[in-house]
Amino acid sequence: MRYSGWQVLKQGLTGNKGWQPAWRDPDPKPQYDVLIIGGGGHGLATAFYLAKEHGITNVAVLERGYLGGGNVGRNTTIVRANYGLPGNSEFYSHSLKLWEGMEQELNYNVMHSQRGIINLFHSDGQRDAYARRGNTMINQGDDAILLDNAGCRRLLPYLDYDQTRFPIYGGLYHKRGGTARHDAVAWGYARGADMRGVDLIQQCEVTGIDIENGRVTGVQTSRGPIRAKKVAMAAAGRSGQVAAMAGLRLPVESHILQAFVTEGLKPCIDHVVTYGMGHFYISQSDKGGLVFGGDLDFYASYAARGNLPTAEHVIEAGMTLMPMIGKARLLRSWGGIMDMSSDGSPIIDKAPVEGLYVNAGWCYGGFKAVPGSGFSYAHLIATDRHHAPAARFRLDRFNTGLVMDEEAKGSQHNLH
Amino acid sequence: MVDLIAKTPCADLLPIKVEAVTLSEVTPEAITSIMPYEGKWEVASEALKSAHGITLPGPGRSTGKGDIRAIWTGAGQAMVLGARLDAGLAPHAALSDQSDAWALMRLEGAGGEDVLARLTPIDLNPGVFKRGHVARSLLGHMNAVIARVGAEAFEIMVFRSMAGTAVHELEEAMKSVAARAALR
Amino acid sequence: MRIKCPLCGDRDSREYTYMGHETYLDRPGDEGWSADWDDYLHLRDNPAGVTRDLWYHGAGCTSWLLVERDTVTHDILRVELARDAKRGRG
Amino acid sequence: MRIEGYGRIDRDTPLNFSFDARNFQGFKGDTLASALLANGVRLMGRSFKYHRPRGVLTAGSEEPNALMEIGQGAARTPNVRATMQEVFAGLEAHSQNRMGPLRHDLLSVNDLLPNFLSAGFYYKTFMWPRAFWEQIYEPVIRRAAGLGSLSGQANPDRYETGFAHCDILVIGSGPTGLMAALTAAEGGADVILAEESAHFGGRLISEAEELDGQPGPDWVAEMLEALHETGRVRLMNRTTVTGAYDGGTYGALERVGLHLPMTPDLPQECFWRIHARQAVLAAGALERPIAFPMNDRPGIMMASAIRSYLHHHGVAAGRKVTLFATNDDAHRTALDLMAAGVEVAGVMDSRTDAQAQGDYPLFAGAQVISTRGRQALREITIRQGGSEQRIETDCLGVSGGWNPTLHLTCHMNGRPVWNEDIAAFVPTEGAVPGLTPAGACNGVYSTSRCLSAGVAAAGAALQAMGAKAPEMEIPEASDSPGKARALWLVEGKGRAWLDFANDVTSKDIKLAAQENFRSVEHMKRYTTQGMAPDQGKNSNIGALALLADATGRAIPETGTTTYRPPFAPVSLAAIGAGGQGKAFAPQRFTTSHEASVARGAPMIEAGLWYRPSYVPRPGEATWREACDREVTMVRTHVGVCDVSTLGKIDIQGPDAAAFLDFVYANMFSTLKVGRVRYGLMLREDGHVMDDGTTARLGETHYVMTTTTAAAGEVMKHLDFVQQCLRPDLNLRTISVTEQWAQFGVVGPRSRELLNTLLDSPIDNDSFPFMACGEVGVAGVAARLFRISFSGEQAYEIAVPARYGDALYRLLVAQAEALGGGAYGMEALNVLRIEKGFITHSEIHGRITAFDIGMDRMISARKMCIGKPAASRAGLQDPMRERLIGLKPVGAVKQLTAGAHLFEEGAAPVAANDLGYVTSVGFSPTMGHFIGLGFLSDGPSRIGDRMKMVDHLRGVETLVEICDPVFHDPEGEKLRG
């Protein structure tokens, strides 16, 4: 059933009885061509593009909980293409183009709002480092503007330009950056994949990966064994456990990233704003809640919840940058499980085991990467050739030394 | 002949008084860190005792005689306040002059614990943090050494360059505690 | 969260910073790059359960600590000075 | 209306306040809600989506409807619960979330088209045309959405945070909490008793109930006295425990000044971090609404809330009251109202076997199937047996049973379990280590069993701490739990609300199930049920029960969503109080700070420190003029600059030399005593961490300097190497950054200047380049280092920090006498670029020794941190971007840091990108701009012409690649 304004009008006049299920709840078949482990944003998008771009529809997405229940449902919903390193620059540029066509492609309003994102900087040195990144973005064909202090005052009048601890010199303004409704992205891709014949199987935990003489042959699950020629991992924070089922160790350590939302407020923040002297980023959801986040809790964890010191530090950064949010009240805080890679950039590659594919190491950047990762991962699974924008996301880069250290912090997983 | 005038860290910041609580600067004669080399803690402690009459303190504690005091300031490290250390200690421990590195403040008066409760995560209740106890912890966002030197008196050490921030944060806490007391 | 420092006693986790897995204690001896170095710097078991990792009591006694804990429940099971643990490994 | 002889308010202290600019009067002890009800005001807000009229539903923090803006201007606070805001003289409250006056909210037009605004409608439309989303659809939606509004101005009020410690924290001070606190204190524990509302006693203040034969409130007063007697209990009222975290840490928000007119120095709120070895949750229970058609009108409220307003505030919520209940408990409202002379028009009890407990009209087996009254309730329609009947009423008390307030037990992902006996969810066992739920929050609904539950829980907590549980005498109290029977939905015409704030009705829940959003988490996100300010406290259980029906599952199988911190919303100003303004990070001032400020030098941030940008002289209009003069002054005469902010680490011990060989790429054990050497420090991943000079003052005594930015990181790294990698080495390290004030004396006349101050003069032989040693200045023991960051003959002199101010002023005076003077960071930066020296602009974290032409410094004779990783093939590739100098050679003379480098004829796009510029400055010495940067295969491109493009600044410059050292490459000046 196609969604549109007319459909909402027609259904509204007939008591909304005609709306169809957004996806089916099939039982797992014994055999598929491709199995995707993980029903989050990346898994669902991969299934969608396998079907749409490559006509491969005998696919099952295996989700141990409910669709979109992991990080795609727990992030601060930021979408941007403002990366500096070769490899990341092309990938997120391609991903943002897919975002811009997503509503038409999925026939689902994911509320992608290109309201602009401003990375504030607080010294000449930081300005020049951001300028280097901004020039990379323009070289890549994306947009960037260097705001000075006066430019920030016009766009962001509510920042504290006088009392704040680290004065605001200016900001790197990426107009095509913005936000999207995270759940809607998962549901849009789920519906799109299901409509094209992909089986979305919830409450189905993968408990083992079957390998016979170096080739993957299927998986063991809480709902029985399923055979397949190709198995693609997309388990984000749980990548370590799933890879271990195939005897693999990944350059990934799982960490907690807390996110926060306030009670609903009338419009007061119209952009995504990030702070340069403390990890803090904020935007306002369409329902009016201020959605913000900042540092990891910094210790390895799968608890999907964090502790007070990090929450306080993040909110302190918000208070020194924009004290007007002081009267807003924190309504809810939660945690995602971030698969932090050793250089801060992701991995989309074939595993050393034939027929097994790895998609992991997304750190903070998983949500904005959903379409790009799905598209490139589907291309790799379908053709066994790396898709150009994701060509550098190799497993072996740590041995060659061609690491992609976007944050320039070294090999310690939790510093990216 | 040229002459260099000395300035103390809190010269133009202290003393301040809010209701029953006062914050004043303390300027010991000298502060020297003493870090015994491998296996030399006992022999260094003996050398200190014979030279200055006090032994090296265990973790979280302080020792003292007259106006000379030794406070525990970290793993394998103590600081001696109040006297230039005898050179005889040198072979047993790394000695390093810290006299100018620290701003030393004394917080005195009823309710000192409540003031510090705004800034320090450790439990300073008299039943737990007794006279002679020393802790290396936080004062707001700063590293600090906190010692109880009396039933209603604490000594606080922060790095010299942060004296201004420390005094400001302590004064704000003193005002807030006093304002609450006025309500009762 | 609270960690009991062997020297300072039970302290709020805001006084500590975290580095990473216990493997950092076992620096490989090879002078050139090797699979051991790839293991040491990058690859992790990343267990959901009991693990051991290195913490620095930066706001306290500046000791490095080896902490045995659970990555799912955040229980802290055992804490020792990393210096002693390293010496114990010979 | 106000009822004489009722309420624990101070009728001798009338308080004037305003609501939507209308003046009212309440009494001390009133909440905004009770005072408004006393004045007959029932319309207090508007719902989120349909903008329907909303009246107060409850008497506690779980209030979903009566959310208001308090205060004016910058002090305005949105979304304040009228049920929690105590009235004070001059209190100004405004309704929110309306367009136009509250009585005529233009946005209530949404209420005319509910069928088109059903759950998730916005996912199915607003997709065409694409640009309309940002320009039209989203702005309209955002305007209508949201509740209260921020003032947009900086927060002027004072907030604070604090730490508290105790053996046993008791959360809630009803019968369970008071007994738990007394038991714990009698058992020898230090206790904190935290109570959310202003008064202790919980429900006992709102019920006509007796304990030990005396009225509840009197018993409470006695208990507080007993607690005080133990000397071990810290009573914290107006303090909501908002979160349970690891290790017995709890977050709690105390309302300190919110109930008073503005008081200087008094914080509005305090966010406490409480560490408790054990805790008892005694948070009671919340009464559960019923979803019946048109159940959202102002005047419809919880039956227990009507009792609270009567007993606690002396206010009758209506003149002609009806009740709709599923249990005996709610009948007390009828009894209490009649005792106070208020008319009870009927009690509709859904149970056919219900018994009246007093002479009020009981309609057993009846249900309310509709209501009327636009701005406030006028009439209800009930159905009993086959017949329907209308009853005129202005206040309907509702009770669908009680939900245990177990939220804190879910804060570590524990999910509550369904208890069929009480038809409610109760905490799962051991959900939060050290937190024992007791009483109503654990599903125990009778007062007497609550009292014993409190004793038992405190006893268990004492035992867990190794103490003995004392014998406690349990007061005599009522034990009438009554059999609860759940009623989730009354079918009928008209919408039945579950989430009153987000306007989620039973139709929305059914639609979610119909579209296969079957999981309770999917239903919540699709319908936004439970995502309003009350976080589902009034709707979660009802919604999941309807979902269970709609999907043919039982409630336990459907399960519940989990609750997350905070239990009640916390102002960001409170939890972030440590960050506002300058407090976010300490300020570090050098000893020469005042002297620089006095000379008009603008101070700029360098890490946590402040350093002079430039030191202007009269007549200099721009920073460039001052900077050019300062550079020339240093090159030709002598300059003085404070370098105290660089990290300084004292390293002593027999193995100090071996240690430095291990942490630095180059050798230090070969450095002679009295000499200094430049050192390059790698991270273990082979990239450069920091650089700086290390001096050898004695056989076993070095002093290492680090950059300002990396001082803390290096200190921690050295501790890591000593303790975790090389405990075999016998050495000790300690920071001496703050012990010494250190100043650069730079330029051809630098030695001449020093000799006017040193107790014994020096010359090129006694103090050659890279020498160091003890010297005397006016009898003060100082240290002198002959090192240069400018390429000139230069020294750094360090004195104990107490003399810093005095020495700086003296050095500047002497420099000015010799034709020089003070210089700042801008000049220092140009001087070092002229000499090709690097800073963290170059070693920005992705750079190896190879990239900056220093790979030879990685000594072949020893191992060091980072050496193996630096040997990876990818880090030795000549095509990597490597350090070069550049200067403009075309018409455009400007260079910019952050620009990229391309072949002369190539398009400035990613594919042709060969490098980037890191540092630039106008060099008065060379007469043109100079810069440093990184270029693919840089060293073999010296002399080539390339194109520098900065899209952001609109600058395109033809440049020549050159050797990074522009000035005095042979270094004669250094050794002069």
Give the DSSP per-residue string, D156-215. Answer: -S--EEEEEEEEEEEE--SHHHHHHHHHHHHTT--EEEE-SSSSSSGGGGTS--EETTEE
Chains sharing 3 or more CB pairs under 8 A with chain A = C, D
Tell me the nearest-neighbour CA distance from C53 into chain B, angstroms: 20
**What pLDDT is attached to residue B86?**
84
Tell me the nearest-neighbour CA distance from D688 into chain C, angstroms: 16
Residues forming a β-bridge with D886 = D931, D961
Grade residue D479 by pLDDT with cuts at 50, 70 and 90. confident
Contact A115 D122 (CB under 8 A): no
pLDDT at B88 over 90: no
What is the CATH T-level fold of the domain D1-155, as seen in this structure? Ubiquitin-like (UB roll) (3.10.20)
Question: Of D738, D707, D683, which is closest to residue D867 (Cα–Cα)?
Answer: D683
D631: its two tokens: 């550079």
- The residue among D277, D588, D814 with the most chain B CBs within 10 A of its CB, best to mutate, is D588
D809-850 pLDDT, tens per residue?
999 999 999 999 999 999 999 999 999 999 999 999 999 999
C-chain residues within 8 Å CB-CB of D861? none
**What pLDDT is attached to residue D482?**
65
Query: Residue D687 has what DSSP assignment?
Result: B
For the D585-645+737-846 domain, the top CATH level (class) is alpha beta
D826: its two tokens: 């801008």
Q: Is the distance from CB of A20 to CB of A52 less than 8 angstroms?
A: no
In D, residues 796-825, which contact B (CB 8 Å cutoff)? 799-807, 810
Helix, coil or strand: residue D414: coil
Chains sharing 3 or more CB pairs under 8 A with chain C = A, B, D
pLDDT at C90 over 80: no
Tokens 């009853």 -> residue: D391
Contact A113 D133 (CB under 8 A): yes
Tell me the nearest-neighbour CA distance from B135 into chain D, angstroms: 16
User: Chain A contact for D515, CB < 8 A?
Assistant: yes
Report the pLDDT averaged over residues D920-937: 97
Residue pLDDT tens, chain A, 416 long:
899 999 999 999 999 999 999 999 999 999 999 999 999 999 999 999 999 999 999 999 999 999 999 999 999 999 999 999 999 999 999 999 999 999 999 999 999 999 999 999 999 999 999 999 999 999 999 999 999 999 999 999 999 999 999 999 999 999 999 999 999 999 999 999 999 999 999 999 999 999 999 999 999 999 999 999 999 999 999 999 999 999 999 999 999 999 999 999 999 999 999 999 999 999 999 999 999 999 999 999 999 999 999 999 999 999 999 999 999 999 999 999 999 999 999 999 999 999 999 999 999 899 999 999 999 999 999 999 999 999 999 999 999 999 999 999 999 999 99
D884: its two tokens: 């070069």
D102-116 pLDDT, tens per residue?
999 999 999 999 999
Angle subtended at Cα B138 by Cα B135 and Cα B144, rounded to the nearest 5 degrees: 60
pLDDT at D703 over 80: yes
Angle subtended at Cα B163 by Cα B162 and Cα B169, rounded to the nearest 5 degrees: 90
Cα–Cα distance measured from residue D77 to residue D86, given in angstroms and rounded to the nearest whole number: 14
pLDDT at D130 over 90: no
Picking from D152, D515, D582, the nearest residue to A22 by CB comes out as D515
Report the pLDDT averaged over residues C60-85: 98
Cα–Cα distance measured from residue D389 to residue A87, given in angstroms and rounded to the nearest whole number: 73
Contact B136 C61 (CB under 8 A): yes
pLDDT at D144 over 90: no
Q: Where does residue D419 rank: exposed (0-12), middle (13-18), buried (19+ CB within 10 A)?
A: middle
Contact D719 C24 (CB under 8 A): no
Grade residue D478 by pLDDT with cuts at 50, 70 and 90. confident
D282-296 pLDDT, tens per residue?
999 999 999 999 999
User: Chain A contact for C72, CB < 8 A?
Assistant: yes
The CATH number assigned to the domain with range D291-399 reads 3.50.50.60
Segments in D818-891 forming alpha helices (H): 825-834, 867-870
Q: What is the widest separation between alpha-carbon atoms in chain D?
A: 116
Contact C44 A307 (CB under 8 A): no
- The residue among D70, D123, D563, D829 with the most chain A CBs within 10 A of its CB, best to mutate, is D123
DSSP string computed for D419-438: ETTTTEEEPPTTSSTTEEE-
Report the pLDDT averaged over residues D27-41: 97
C-chain residues within 8 Å CB-CB of B135? 8, 60
Domains of chain A: 23-77+182-252+343-415 (3.50.50.60), 113-176+254-339 (3.30.9.10)
Q: Where does residue D139 rank: exposed (0-12), middle (13-18), buried (19+ CB within 10 A)?
A: middle
Q: pLDDT over 90 for what percent of chain D?
A: 97
pLDDT at D750 over 90: yes
Report the pLDDT averaged over residues D357-383: 96
In D, residues 653-692, which contact C (CB 8 Å cutoff)? 684-685
D585: its two tokens: 């990070």
Contact D518 A25 (CB under 8 A): yes
Average pLDDT, chain D: 96
**What pLDDT is attached to residue D121?**
94
Contact C12 D725 (CB under 8 A): no
CATH superfamily of C2-26+46-88: Folate-binding superfamily (3.30.2270.10)
Would the CATH topology of D160-285+404-464 be identical to that of D585-645+737-846?
A: no
Question: Of B138, D69, D832, D110, which is closest to residue A266 (Cα–Cα)?
Answer: D69
D810: its two tokens: 């003296």
User: Chain A contact for D132, CB < 8 A?
Assistant: no
Picking from C12, C64, C75, the nearest residue to D720 by CB comes out as C64
Picking from D246, D249, D869, the nearest residue to C41 by CB comes out as D869
User: Chain A contact for D605, CB < 8 A?
Assistant: yes
Tell me the nearest-neighbour CA distance from A324 into chain C, angstroms: 26
Count of residues making up chain B: 184
Cα–Cα distance measured from residue D461 to residue A4, given in angstroms and rounded to the nearest whole number: 59
Question: Of A300, A304, A361, which is closest to residue A336 (Cα–Cα)?
Answer: A304
Tell me the nearest-neighbour CA distance from C58 into chain D, angstroms: 8
Q: Considering only CB atoms, which residues of chain A are within 8 Å of chain C?
A: 238-241, 244, 249-254, 298-303, 307-309, 342, 398-399, 401, 411-414
Residues forming a β-bridge with A78 = A179
Report the pLDDT averaged over residues C54-64: 98
Contact A300 C21 (CB under 8 A): yes
The CATH number assigned to the domain with range D648-736+849-876 reads 3.30.70.1400
**What pLDDT is attached to residue B2?**
77
The CATH number assigned to the domain with range D878-976 reads 2.40.30.110
**What pLDDT is attached to residue D481?**
65
Grade residue B1 by pLDDT with cuts at 50, 70 and 90. low
D-chain residues within 8 Å CB-CB of B141? 578, 583-586
Cα–Cα distance measured from residue D976 to residue D971, given in angstroms and rounded to the nearest whole number: 9
Question: Of D483, D474, D472, D421, which is closest to residue D448 (Cα–Cα)?
Answer: D474
Q: Where does residue D39 rank: exposed (0-12), middle (13-18), buried (19+ CB within 10 A)?
A: middle
**What pLDDT is attached to residue D953?**
98
Grade residue B81 by pLDDT with cuts at 50, 70 and 90. very high
- Is the alpha carbon torsion for D573, D578, D579, D581 positive or negative? positive
What pTM does this model have?
Answer: 0.97
Q: Is the distance from CB of D634 to CB of D827 less than 8 angstroms?
A: yes
Tell me the nearest-neighbour CA distance from B5 into chain C, angstroms: 33
Contact B136 C58 (CB under 8 A): no
Picking from A239, A240, A253, the nearest residue to C20 by CB comes out as A253
D-chain residues within 8 Å CB-CB of C58? 716
User: Chain D contact for A109, CB < 8 A?
Assistant: yes
Inter-chain CB pairs, A–C, below 8 Å? 75
In D, residues 550-569, which contact A (CB 8 Å cutoff)? 564-566, 569
B40-76 pLDDT, tens per residue?
999 999 999 999 999 999 999 999 999 999 999 999 9
Tell me the nearest-neighbour CA distance from A346 into chain C, angstroms: 13
* Helix or strand (DSSP H, E) at C70: strand C64-70
Write down the domain spans for chain D. Answer: 1-155, 160-285+404-464, 291-399, 496-553, 585-645+737-846, 648-736+849-876, 878-976
- The residue among B33, B95, B160, B167 with the most chain D CBs within 10 A of its CB, best to mutate, is B160
**What pLDDT is attached to residue D480?**
74
Cα–Cα distance measured from residue D961 to residue D211, given in angstroms and rounded to the nearest whole number: 91
Cα–Cα distance measured from residue A358 to residue A348, given in angstroms and rounded to the nearest whole number: 6
The CATH-assigned architecture of domain D160-285+404-464 is 3-Layer(bba) Sandwich (3.50)
Q: Is the distance from CB of D561 to CB of D582 less than 8 angstroms?
A: no
Report the pLDDT averaged over residues D656-679: 98
In D, residues 264-293, which contact A (CB 8 Å cutoff)? 271, 273
**What pLDDT is attached to residue D976?**
77
Phi/psi at D554 (5° precision)? -80, 165
Cα–Cα distance measured from residue D529 to residue D552, given in angstroms and rounded to the nearest whole number: 20
